[in-house]
Amino acid sequence: MEDLQSERQRMLRRHHREKKELEAQIQSMKCSVPKSDKKRRKEVRHDVARLQAEMEQRHQQELEKFQENFPGGATVDSVTENLAKMNLENRHPHVSRAQKRREKMEALEREHQERVLVAEMEHLASFRHEEEEKLSSILAAKYLEMKDIPADSQCMYRAVQDQLVFSVTVESLRRRTADYMREHVDDFLPFFSDPETGDAYSLPEFMAHCDDIVRRRAWGGLLELRALSHVLQTPIEVIQASAPALLIGEEYRKKPLTLVYLHYACSLGEHYNSVKPLEAGAAGGPAPRLL
């Protein structure tokens, strides 16, 4: 019996630790997205709900399995009570009717949010598949295919780094991008505005954004790519599924760097990938050698 109790306590302690770790992960996810970016923050909330639901389901399954293996040792209810104690929920034994109604409404709301999340994830998966098929066709015509870049706030800079024939760090690309934008304020400031209010950036706000490029690993977009094309004195081609390819820095005569822009690639929003020569036979015949 003591061994059974010890095993149950170990499981409860692990569940408690995993919940704390998930809370830290969720906090990190929320901090990685600017408050002004409502779209990405909504997607992060969906990811948070999914992670919480998955952990809750897994913990419940482990508790039920424990009960099946040791039917005489403890009930799922008693285990759940111990888990609640480990979460420091010091509740009075008596639960009022109002509290029961609130808990019921909260449970119904969680179920609703989970159903909405599942529907949205299925919808997103459909868009993602369609986008990838279109991009594969566009790239195949150029004897290219996508080269995956990690989906984080560094993806645009990593994709550019991957395309360069010389060695350079992502940190250096970020620093040089920020420096160029600071030195050419008049070329960039008019195109920056608050995504919530639509108000144009003030000079201090623009400078703060340049600082964020370096210090906070801010997401990169077309304006940062424009700065990079000047820094590298190289055109940058951005291939996308929903519109013709963009050529940034076309005044330069070098061979363009090629990036792929994906709108539905990951749950956090837009993403950039690099490209590589299409493997022989992947498009019905050998790919020409790209120099």
Note the pLDDT tens digit of each residue in 91-133. Answer: 455 667 778 778 877 777 777 676 666 655 555 677 888 899 9
Read off the pLDDT of each residue in 139-158 and give the average, rounded to a whole number: 93
Could you say which of 15, 209, 230, 271 is catalytic?
A: 271
Could you say which of 15, 155, 210, 230 is catalytic?
A: 155
| Residue 275 neighbours by CB under 8 Å, 6+ apart | 139, 144, 145, 146, 147, 163, 239, 258, 259, 260
Is 46 a residue whose pLDDT tops 50?
yes
Is 141 a residue whose pLDDT tops 90?
yes
Give the pLDDT band (50/70/90) at residue 234: very high
Q: Distance between CA 15 and CA 55 in Å, rounded?
A: 9
Answer for the pair 46, 10: CB distance below 8 angstroms, yes or no.
no
Q: Encode pLDDT of 17-36 as tens digits.
A: 788 777 777 766 766 666 66
Output Rg (C-alpha) for the chain, integer angstroms.
Answer: 26
Could you say which of 77, 148, 152, 194 is catalytic?
A: 152
Burial 192-206 (b: 16+ CB within 10 A, else e): eeeeeeeeebeeeeb
Answer for the pair 160, 257: CB distance below 8 angstroms, yes or no.
yes
Give the pLDDT band (50/70/90) at residue 289: very low
Catalytic-residue membership of 152: yes
If you average pLDDT over every residue of the chain, what do you get? 81
Catalytic-residue membership of 271: yes
Catalytic-residue membership of 77: no
